[in-house]
Every structure is written in C-alpha cells, then in structure tokens.
Structure 1
Amino acid sequence: MCLGIPGRVVEIVDAEQSLAKVDVNGVRRVISVRLLADEGLVVDDWVLVHVGFAMSKIDEREAQLTLDQVKKMGADYLNEIDAFNSSQIA
C-alpha cells in the first residue's frame, strides 16, 4: 500500500533545485518539492509526502486528521514511515 504522510516544512534547503527539509513524525529528511513549485511553500507549511516527494500542500488541521487516521492503520503506517526513513534526496 502506498500512503502519503503529512510532513511539516522545516527548511527550504535549495529553492533553485526545489528541495526542502520536512519533519515527519520526528524524522527529518530532504525531499523534492518540485511538484509544488507554484505553491510558494514556506517554513511551517504542511505537505503530503510519499517516498521523498511532496505530492500536495495541506493545512495543519488536515495534516493532523490525516496523521490520526493513518496511525490507526498500524503496520501500513509503520511501513510508510520506514520507507520515508530510507528515502533521501541527494
């Protein structure tokens, strides 16, 4: 199963290359935000992350609701967090 996990943007690492650092459940990784280039992402924005890519911009309320629901999925949530932990954009 492929899930999108909410992450909070904590740093714009390289605006020219569309890279940002996000925090997902306490784990910070650099991801591609290229698909959201027109969204004007800034620090503290929330995005839906899937395997190293921000797929959409979401608000904080939606992020919390999504996290609450995804955590109820148990093993699928843990597998997605593991996938996020192992993904890293160079």
Structure 2
Amino acid sequence: MALIDLGGVRKEISLALVDDVAVGDYVIVHVGYALTKLDPEEAERTLKLFAEAGMVQTEGAS
C-alpha cells in the first residue's frame, strides 16, 4: 500500500500490480491500484497537461 498525492488530494492505493516502486516514483493509478510506473519526464508532461486542462494544480506545471 502507498499514500499518493495529486494536487493536494491524498489517497491510499495498492501497489500489488507494480514491482519495485519507491518513494518519489510516478505511477498511473486507476480505481485504487497503481498500474505502471512512469519515467519522470513523461510524468511531468502528463501533469502539465492535467494542469493546463484545469484538472489538477501542480507546483512544476507552468
């Protein structure tokens, strides 16, 4: 199990489907499960798109 934070929303999720997840890693989450890890560059691009669409507030997206 892990506690995630997306734009200030915190939720506990299962890591049962993903191996070798560490603090600071980015994961795709669906219905309470981490599905896969993302590399940091892809995660930043995705978070920026979410912020531009008004879906989430992030510190790194401008």
TM-score, normalization: structure 2? 0.71
Superposition map of 1:10-49 within 5 A: 19-36=1-18, 39-49=19-29
Question: What SS does the aligned partner of 2:17 have?
Answer: helix
Q: Which runs of 4+ in 1 moved over 2 A?
A: 70-74
The separation in 2 between residues aligned to 1:46 and 1:71, in whole angstroms, is: 16
1:45 is aligned with what amino acid? D
The separation in 1 between residues aligned to 2:41 and 2:26, in whole angstroms, is: 10
Instruction: Give structure 1 stretches of 5+ with no counterpart.
Output: 1-18, 79-90
Instruction: Give structure 2 stretches of 5+ with no counterpart.
Output: 57-62
TM-score, normalization: structure 1? 0.52
Which residue is 1:55 aligned to?
Answer: 35
More helix by share: 1
Q: Which has the higher contact order (CA 8 A, sep 6+)?
A: 1
Question: What SS does the aligned partner of 1:35 have?
Answer: coil
Superposition RMSD in Å:
1.7
The separation in 1 between residues aligned to 2:53 and 2:31, in whole angstroms, is: 18
